[in-house]
Chain A
Amino acid sequence: MRKGDRLKEKIIKKEQIGKWLEKLGKDYEIWAPVKKNGLVSFYPIQSAKEIYFDFLNSKKTPKDLFFPQSEVLLSFPKEEVGKEVKTILQKPRIIFAIRPCDAKSLALLDQVFDSEDYQDPYYVERREGILLVGLACTHPQQSCFCTSVGGGPFEKAHLDLVMADLGDGKYFVEALTQLGEGLMQRDDSLQDVQEKDREKLAKTKEEAEEKVKSKLVTKGLEKKLDKIFDSPLWDRVHQRCLGCGICTYLCSTCHCFALLDEKDKARVKRIRNWDSCMFPEFTVEASGHNPRISNRERMRQRVMHKFNYFVERYGETACVGCGRCIQSCPVNIDIREIIEEIRNE
């Protein structure tokens, strides 16, 4: 280990986190997992006391902080139709305790909304002002399969800073970018890392990785999918599906939207709302024709987009294995089973 690396690693005691966040709160709006109505989601917090540290993962992903479910893109008085209006006003934000899978999903969304060919100004502006402070997963769930899609419970990629609960009241903190380092330096009461902390970290990491029991072979899946577009498999896997928006709206990586213009007495608005390929209206054409006529075609689209089209276009699977779709599907449609079936087809 080089000397510089050590400086980027610190130990913080759980009871110190409040103070640290208080300091960061002066310049940043901090979003962290909070439990409300029995559900954990990311909310802006005033104090570390509100944070629910022991969450498995949040119900909703933090993606709506970058790509809100509903966003006014333009708004203007009726008389001034045609004039563009700038919109976003945002204090720099920290997403605190984001899980590694959700951090990865942001990197995937970046490819869509912030690529060489296309930059979505709304997304880009938000993204620039947001720092990601990760919290490694010490309790991966049964439905997690991040390690099968290029991630892991202690994965550090795409984060500015990562924390890991060592289980003894201490958190291991590692800065991964300059900005992350800046966050760490804001509090000089953070302690130096001891050798036994490092050992503890290695052990915790190993234990966590062992807990990810769902193992899927996703290699070569896109090639297989190329060949089975018309397979009877699709008649089977969609049967139970209700055609709702749960699996796509709660998904870390889904990013479809529809534009809608609204006007009231005084103003005209152009609004962008999330949309889902599982909805029948998703592909209805102006003529009334719908090329994806039933749940069969829609389920196929969802799977194809994640494991074929996206791979073809960006070289990665548009699924980070967070398991949210598995947990929340009201009829227990399990993407792991679908992948298995495809492999066996």
Chain B
Amino acid sequence: MQESEKELREVAKKLLLEKKVDLIIGYEEGTLPLRTRPIFIREADETKKLVWNFRCENNLCFYLKMAKERVGIVAKGCDIRSIIGLIKERQIKRENIFIIGVPCSGIIDRKKIEDILEGRELLEGIESDSQIILKGEGLEEKVDKDKLVHASCKSCKYRNPVLYDTLIGKEVSQGEGEEYSDVEEFASKSDNERWAYFNDEASRCIRCYACRNVCPACYCPQCFVDQSLPTWFGRTLHPSDTLIFHIIRTLHIAGRCVDCGACSRVCPMNIELRMLNKKAEKDVKELYHYEAGISLEELPPMATFKMDDPQEFIK
């Protein structure tokens, strides 16, 4: 067992025993190869189920949106940025949340494993320090974790928690690489190419809304897509309906998205939602010099007005 996992269990146990929190939200092993999943622990004894590894892919902030008690939450760098957003936007109270921060060197993108499997079934997955071993019928393949890291984690500059109540394990090195090279490359394409790309992505969308539901920035009691009096836009699978959903969601989370990648990871149809989100993030950074979820004090750009705000777009 990893040292940090042991430490995590002890910390969680103590928090419950000392009644500092009523509930721990963390990860446990799941029922499919390489899957972990969220777990809710109220009894100190149960903390032995907690795990912390490369496969802890869910952003657990979804559950904070609903929690009514004092919660201890296991949170990676990006999850903590989500928590900061939720506190700033008064969705949760800082004093009700005990942040168990875990430095994170990036987490798995299971879609990359699907690519390696090429349709074969994964019967077992074993994680070691630097590799994942994939096993199946006539299949045994070792893959470096580096090759499986989610795109959001690759360039993440906040792998070490920016806010926490206790820190598990040691600090790690930050992500490398130019964050916006993909966006820039994409932006340099022709209108037609970009339009074709988005249409193609949207054409696979089944409107399950998992991307929205899991997003820590999407917490409206009723989303615009669900309103029926009046109906703001159509529910069909026509790209004009699905694309509008994604474009409006991108606008709603501009300056609030922390690039946790949760939306892309939950999508059952492999839709690359990150391109839109990154573009919005880049624009907010350039126009307002603001990055979401870094500090509790800095005011969100969409909720403030400064005389020198750029406004060339108002014609």
Query: What residues make up the interface of A, taking CB atoms closer than 8 Å to B?
Result: 35, 37-40, 52, 54-56, 59-60, 69-70, 139, 141-143, 239-240, 242-246, 249-250, 258, 260, 262, 271, 273, 276, 279-281, 326-328, 330-332, 334, 336-337
Smallest Cβ-Cβ distance to A288: which chain B residue: B229
Of the candidates A38, A70, A258, which one forms a contact with B114 in the assembled complex, judged by CB atoms under 8 Å apart? A38
Do B114 and A273 touch (CB < 8 A)?
no
Q: How far is the CA of A158 from the CA of B40 in the complex (A)?
A: 43
Of the candidates B35, B208, B270, which one forms a contact with A39 in the assembled complex, judged by CB atoms under 8 Å apart? B270
Would you call B130 an interface residue if the criterion is a C-beta within 8 Å of the partner chain's C-beta atoms?
A: no
Do A246 and B208 touch (CB < 8 A)?
yes
B57 CB to closest chain A CB (Å) equals 9
Do B204 and A330 touch (CB < 8 A)?
no
Do A56 and B119 touch (CB < 8 A)?
yes
Q: How far is the CA of A310 from the CA of B209 in the complex (A)?
A: 26
Do B121 and A260 touch (CB < 8 A)?
no
A161 CB to closest chain B CB (Å) equals 24
Do B38 and A331 touch (CB < 8 A)?
yes
Known: A242-B62, A332-B30. A70 touches B235 (CB 8 A): yes
Known: A139-B121, A330-B266. A244 touches B231 (CB 8 A): no
Do A326 and B213 touch (CB < 8 A)?
no
Do B207 and A245 touch (CB < 8 A)?
yes
Do A244 and B209 touch (CB < 8 A)?
yes
Do A37 and B208 touch (CB < 8 A)?
no
Would you call B269 an interface residue if the criterion is a C-beta within 8 Å of the partner chain's C-beta atoms?
A: yes
Query: What residues make up the interface of B, taking CB atoms closer than 8 Å to A?
Result: 30-33, 35-40, 58, 62, 111, 114-115, 119, 121, 123, 137, 204, 206-210, 213-214, 226, 228, 231, 234-238, 265-266, 268-270
Of the candidates B115, B119, B209, B236, which one forms a contact with A54 in the assembled complex, judged by CB atoms under 8 Å apart? B119
Do A70 and B237 touch (CB < 8 A)?
yes
Q: How far is the CA of A244 from the CA of B207 in the complex (A)?
A: 9
Q: How far is the CA of A245 from the CA of B265 in the complex (A)?
A: 15
Chain A residues lying within 8 Å of B213, measured Cβ to Cβ, are: 242-244
Known: A39-B269, A240-B38. A326 touches B208 (CB 8 A): no
Do A326 and B32 touch (CB < 8 A)?
yes
Q: How far is the CA of A139 from the CA of B111 in the complex (A)?
A: 21
Q: How far is the CA of A249 from the CA of B235 in the complex (A)?
A: 14
Q: How far is the CA of A327 from the CA of B236 in the complex (A)?
A: 25
Q: How far is the CA of A54 from the CA of B120 in the complex (A)?
A: 8
Chain A residues lying within 8 Å of B266, measured Cβ to Cβ, are: 242, 244, 246, 330
B282 CB to closest chain A CB (Å) equals 25
- 25 example contacts (A-B, Cβ-Cβ < 8 A) are as follows A35-B119, A37-B204, A39-B269, A40-B119, A54-B119, A70-B236, A142-B121, A142-B123, A143-B32, A239-B40, A240-B37, A240-B40, A242-B214, A243-B213, A244-B209, A244-B266, A246-B210, A249-B208, A271-B235, A281-B226, A327-B32, A330-B214, A330-B268, A331-B38, A332-B37
Do B204 and A39 touch (CB < 8 A)?
yes
Chain A residues lying within 8 Å of B231, measured Cβ to Cβ, are: 260, 262
Chain B residues lying within 8 Å of A337, measured Cβ to Cβ, are: 31
Chain B residues lying within 8 Å of A139, measured Cβ to Cβ, are: 121, 137
Q: How far is the CA of A246 from the CA of B213 in the complex (A)?
A: 11
Smallest Cβ-Cβ distance to B231: which chain A residue: A260
Chain B residues lying within 8 Å of A52, measured Cβ to Cβ, are: 119
Chain B residues lying within 8 Å of A35, measured Cβ to Cβ, are: 119
Q: How far is the CA of A292 from the CA of B111 in the complex (A)?
A: 34
Of the candidates A55, A260, A262, which one forms a contact with B119 in the assembled complex, judged by CB atoms under 8 Å apart? A55
Known: A39-B269, A56-B119, A262-B234. A249 touches B31 (CB 8 A): no
Chain A residues lying within 8 Å of B35, measured Cβ to Cβ, are: 332
Residue of B32, B123, B214, B268 most packed against chain A (CB within 10 A): B268
Q: How far is the CA of A336 from the CA of B30 in the complex (A)?
A: 12
Smallest Cβ-Cβ distance to B111: which chain A residue: A38
Smallest Cβ-Cβ distance to B208: which chain A residue: A245
Q: How far is the CA of A239 from the CA of B123 in the complex (A)?
A: 27
Q: How far is the CA of A258 from the CA of B231 in the complex (A)?
A: 13
Of the candidates A56, A243, A245, which one forms a contact with B121 in the assembled complex, judged by CB atoms under 8 Å apart? A56
Chain B residues lying within 8 Å of A331, measured Cβ to Cβ, are: 37-38, 58
Do A244 and B121 touch (CB < 8 A)?
no
Chain B residues lying within 8 Å of A250, measured Cβ to Cβ, are: 206, 268
Q: How far is the CA of A32 from the CA of B312 in the complex (A)?
A: 51
Q: How far is the CA of A240 from the CA of B32 in the complex (A)?
A: 16
Known: A242-B214, A332-B35. A59 touches B119 (CB 8 A): no
B159 CB to closest chain A CB (Å) equals 23
Known: A239-B40, A245-B209, A326-B32. A38 touches B123 (CB 8 A): no
Q: A246-B210, A273-B236, A334-B31 are in contact. List 15 more A-B contacts (CB 8 A).
A: A35-B119, A60-B206, A69-B207, A70-B238, A139-B121, A139-B137, A242-B62, A242-B214, A244-B210, A245-B208, A250-B206, A258-B235, A262-B234, A331-B58, A334-B30
